Structure 1
Amino acid sequence: MPLSSDAPVSGLPGGPRRIALLGGGFSTDADSVLDTWVLGRARAARPRVCFVPTASGDAEGYVDRFLTAFGALDCEPSVLRLFRREPDDASLRAFLLRQDVVYVGGGNTANLLAVWRTHGVDRLLTEACDRGTLLCGISAGANCWAEGSHTDSFGPLTHLTDGLGLLPGSVCPHYDSEPGRRPSYRRAVASGALPAGWALDDGVGALFTDGVLTETVGRTEAARLYRVEADGRGGATEVAVTA
């Protein structure tokens, strides 16, 4: 779907920064519970939603699943591909700033951040967020917004400390579904390798407004969001939270 810069830039600087972390969505779930929840938090009744599949290398199958899923919802879907980028800097800025939702897919968090910084997308997304665009994503698309994250970008599970910093603290996805995630993240927070943060079970969504948790949603009764903090004695505390 081609990018267009015909519509005016939306929003004004100075609004609250809103970030949604997703433990699922169209790429993992048969239903549209979390995706519909995200659309309901957008500033427009029929929001413009841009999918950014950078972390997967702009995988076409991933793009196709997004367009199929969101084409059936009440929104205007589009896709930003960076590995075969077409828009110039001005067109790219205009396109991103008029989106109501930017939805970032999963994959490699470290590669995503590197590519975004090369193209200036990190700065544009910060500007869009300040103008009222809801930023969200799953896995790498959740990790990227925080100061640091728990990732397998380098093979084994480890920590990454150079996120965008739009959400204070750190993020760990797949907390209940991938072996080693829970103990490895707790060790990283306990040691100070990562700051205190948020761990997401698959199936949970969490909305943050100016860094404060303001809403949670779950696809199942079991899905949880956890606050993980160092306990000051070499360990970490883990508390299930809701808003």
Structure 2
Amino acid sequence: MGTATARRVALVAGGFSTDEDGLLDDWLLTHARNPRPKVCFVPTASGDAPAYTDRFLHAFTPRDCEPSVLPLFRRELDDESLRTFLLGQDVVYVGGGNTANLLAVWRAHGVDRLLREAHAHGTLLCGISAGANCWADGSHTDSFGPLTYLQDGLGLLPGSVCPHYDSEPGRRTSYRHAVASGMLPAGWAVEDGVGALFTDGHLEEAVTRSREARLYRVRADAHDQVHEEALPCRLLSN
């Protein structure tokens, strides 16, 4: 019998979007299935913002990989070509922006279905902010203006995700309340500078580019009291 394909998701709280040192992106590429991986950036959550795409290409073109971009607001590929393209990627890297809009646009184009298929065949799915939220069952988001919960996602990572846990006012309190009230399931709160890799839904590795940044497991007990567990993170260095 053959070995089952590992299904992997990574939460990237930084990378080329915000950081100059490239540590999180370098770490991410070490987990690609090929030594010179094909890496596709999906900027849907930002409305395919040109400046965001340029930042990705500027960061990844010099690296030992094959970078590409998937635009959907001015889509260029038919259904068959889109499937071939996405299933041929080693890494799909989703940018930040509006999580709710991202999910809606993906479903309109069938990208959600194709990403599930790619995930099942070993493509590493990852992203920052909205690009981290989208893989879970639910997430903490500002998609609707004020911070709130979103009981929606692709469900490839069990539980919920909260990005920017330490850097945006109100995030911690609001996410803890959502978990305590049952509006969101137990999940992962990610401080800026952290990377977390999950294989088949289980945490495999957590890293950080900052000694202070942490990944937290947040859950409620039978009495609706929230428990927050800081998990060990390996410090990345140049």
> Which residue of structure 2 lines up, in the alignment, with residue 156 of structure 1?
146
> Which residue of structure 1 lines up, in the alignment, with residue 236 of structure 2?
none
TM-score, normalization: structure 1? 0.94
**Paired residues of 1:139 and 1:173 also in contact (CA < 8 A):** yes
Inter-CA distance 103–13: structure 2 relative to 1 (3 Å threshold): farther
> Which residue of structure 2 lines up, in the alignment, with residue 124 of structure 1?
114
* Number of equivalent positions: 232
C-alpha distance in 2 between matches for 1:87 and 1:72: 26
C-alpha distance in 1 between matches for 2:225 and 2:175: 11
> Which residue of structure 2 lines up, in the alignment, with residue 183 of structure 1?
173
Indicate yes or no: 2:46 matched with 1:56: yes
CA RMSD of aligned residues (A): 1.2
Please point out which of 195, 199, 203 is paired with 1:205. Answer: 195
The structural deviation recorded for 1:72 is 1.6
Aligned pairs for 1:6-155 within 5 A: 14-155=4-145
C-alpha distance in 2 between matches for 1:214 and 1:175: 21
The structural deviation recorded for 1:76 is 0.4
**Paired residues of 1:186 and 1:235 also in contact (CA < 8 A):** no
One-letter amino acid of the structure 2 residue matched with residue 49 of structure 1: V
**Paired residues of 1:14 and 1:131 also in contact (CA < 8 A):** no
C-alpha distance in 1 between matches for 2:4 and 2:118: 11
C-alpha distance in 2 between matches for 1:67 and 1:102: 14
**Paired residues of 1:170 and 1:196 also in contact (CA < 8 A):** yes
**Paired residues of 1:169 and 1:195 also in contact (CA < 8 A):** yes
TM-score, normalization: structure 2? 0.96
C-alpha distance in 2 between matches for 1:35 and 1:104: 13
Q: Deviation string for 1:182-214 (max 9, x for gaps)?
A: 000000000000000000000000000000000
Structure 2 residue ranges without an equivalent (≥5): 234-238
- Secondary structure of 1:81 counterpart: coil
Q: Deviation string for 1:148-187 (max 9, x for gaps)?
A: 0000000000000110000000000000000000000000
One-letter amino acid of the structure 2 residue matched with residue 27 of structure 1: S
One-letter amino acid of the structure 2 residue matched with residue 231 of structure 1: D
